[in-house]
Amino acid sequence: MDKNKIIDAILVLCLLAVASVLRLYHPFAIPYDYDEVESVLHTHYNSLSDLVAGNMLTDVHPVGVEVFLYYWTKLVGETEFYVKLPFIVMGILTVLYVFKIGKDWFNSTVGLVCAAYIATLEYTIMYSQEIRPYGIGLFFASAMVYHWSRIIFYPEKRYDLNWVLYVLFGACCLYTHYFCLMFAGVVGLTGMFYVSRTYILRYITAGIMIVVLYVPHLHVFFYQLLKIKGAGWLVKPDNKFLLGYLEYIFHFSPYVYVCAVTLCCWGIAYSIVKRKFPFKYMLISFLWFVLPATLGILYSIYRSPVIQYNGLIFSFPFMLFFFFGLLPDVKSFYKIGIIALICAVNVLTLIYVRRYYDVFYKSPARMVCALNDSVTKAIGKDNIIRFIEGDSSTTGMEKYYVKRYNYDSTYLFLDNKKDKTDLVDYLESHQNKFLSYGCLSEADVDYLPIFLTYYPYLVKQYNFFKGNFYIFSSEKNKYPSAVEFESKEDFEGLPAKGWTAVNNSQLVDSVHFSGQHAYRMDSLHEYGPTFSFNLKDMIKNKNDIIVFSAELYLLSDANDISMVESLESDGKVVHWAGSSMNDFIVKGEKGKWIKVYETLKLSDINMDNPDMQVKMFIWNSSKRNFYIDDMSVSVIKGNPYLYGMVNKIE
């Protein structure tokens, strides 16, 4: 073995070591993420047939990973590290396969560069630490392509072994994820254009064998394809989807951008100067990434939203090959420098920009339960009202952690129902010094301002990925207000800042919630006073929460009375939502003041538009008679980590 091959081998071993360290850091602290708890709970089915039937009816993924977990947890238990270990190992081995493909197709420098990115990017690290289809699917896809490449381009070398491995890994792709299945199909079709006539029958037989191995799953495939229209919570991709994907892949960091762009431009310049262009492999790399992405986006737009960043991971190495495939095979000294630079930039931004180990290593469901337990012990049950709002599924993630770690279970559970009247009645009749509230990212955001009405002071706010935990107090002057901005229109003088369309002829003094006046709405007035303000002058962070509240005095029912919120940019509506007041009013209730809310979580809104304006008003679409007082728009500090694993952390 010559010197260059020895250096290449050492660099590959170093990359495998780096990949191992990044994936095995503090191994017993690696938690189950939000969706992983549900995967573990699926293993509690009484039989494999029940598992398959349950997964088929409720999920949009193949059952391969769940079946593996069903048997694997029977062997190793449910401790996170032991359950995740096979996924982590496959994530590490993906680095080796990517290097081998890059070296075969281009040269060892390209293989090392692409393997370095696989080893050190948050994208690949996170998904190889999850017991989900993505990291393991990336391994299956990479292994399948390597052995496919050997039987297509190097059939004279150990053809039978590579044929068998191609079939096995191809079948694994089909059982793992439907985007992985689609990628395997694209790979298989590509082979028909390059396979030698001598081997074409054996190649076609390989494809047939992959399909045969998939036959037991076909009834699941067709049921999910025809009966389940994607994940209901996903949205259609916009025209910034792929740009956002690239920003996410490269850590939202200018340092990572510059490093990647420099390497890409170097390769392009070298190719132009030397007039070398590996057309076949560049074309394959381009098509293998673009085709699954395009098909996923088109399906999401015209049928049902299914595309996410994680669905593109199976073809991700080929995006890297397309970016860096023109790099020359440089001397060993330069290889060492390039790989060291890539690793240094990616690891430093992983830790200090993406804060990966601070964010990912905190399981939201467990954090909520653990903090609730700690608060109970520290303050005492008699001094604090405790609420937890769990996931909206039927699995009960918080119950899993309460049982597993023997956490306190005497909290009050909120179930995301629209009707808030029972909660308001409870808070009216149970006054205390403190209130705690733990919630996951899909929680009903209207609960927060309701709590603040009775407990307006913030003792502590814990922010983590996909969840929050708050401790509020009713004790004045002891803790700071939870509100960072507020404009309150009480109709007692000049309009408060931001409030317009206050018609003085509609003011009355015969009924009021506070002060001396209220505002009358009637059959002649469809819209009430409007709050309009520049968003950037209201908030401190793109993840803040805006609350619109008012006191209503009804003279009839509240049907068709809505609180409307909108965001506008350059005269165009970016976001618009209106909610009925019936969620806060007991049916038939009238002749008394009732507080109503509309809450806007900015984390769920596209905030990339310039000069956004906030508008909020009450819409009396059926022109009913009622009174308004103490209209208020306030801002509550948001959670910068709520979607921090896929969004930029501010």
DSSP H helices in 218-362: 218-227, 241-249, 254-274, 279-302, 316-324, 332-352, 356-359
- Give residue 229's pLDDT: 62
- Give residue 415's pLDDT: 75
What is the SS3 assignment for 260?
helix
CA angle 32, 389, 435 (to 5 degrees): 115
User: How many whole angstroms separate alpha carbon 145 and alpha carbon 283?
Assistant: 15
CA angle 639, 643, 648 (to 5 degrees): 90
Which DSSP letter does residue 232 get?
T
What is the SS3 assignment for 453?
helix
- Report the b/e string of 157-169 with b at 16+ CB within 10 A: eeeeebbebbbbb
What is the SS3 assignment for 627?
strand
Q: Is 49 exposed, middle or buried (0-12, 13-18, 19+ CB in 10 A)?
A: exposed
Q: What is the pTM of this model?
A: 0.91
State both tokens at 114.
């692409």
**Distance of alpha carbon 83 from its chain centroid, rounded?**
22
pLDDT in tens, 471-484: 999 988 899 999 99
Tokens 């490449």 correspond to 149
Integer CA distances (angstroms), 622 to 342, 443, 499, 584, 585, in order: 62, 30, 23, 19, 17
Integer CA distances (angstroms), 393 to 39, 253, 319, 358, 513, in order: 12, 35, 35, 27, 40
Beta bridge partners of 548: 598, 633
- Domain 483-636: CATH superfamily is Galactose-binding domain-like (2.60.120.260)
Low-confidence ranges of the chain (pLDDT < 50): 394
| Nearest to 508, CA basis, from 499, 500, 517 | 517
Contact at 8 Å (CB) between 559 and 625? no
User: How many whole angstroms separate alpha carbon 466 and alpha carbon 468?
Assistant: 7
- Give residue 443's pLDDT: 85
Tokens 């009913």 correspond to 624
- What is the share, in percent, of the chain residues with pLDDT greater than 70? 98
Answer positive or negative: Cα dihedral of 165, 171, 177, 182: positive
- Domains of the chain: which residue ranges? 3-359, 364-473, 483-636
State both tokens at 489.
């229109």
Contact at 8 Å (CB) between 540 and 608? no
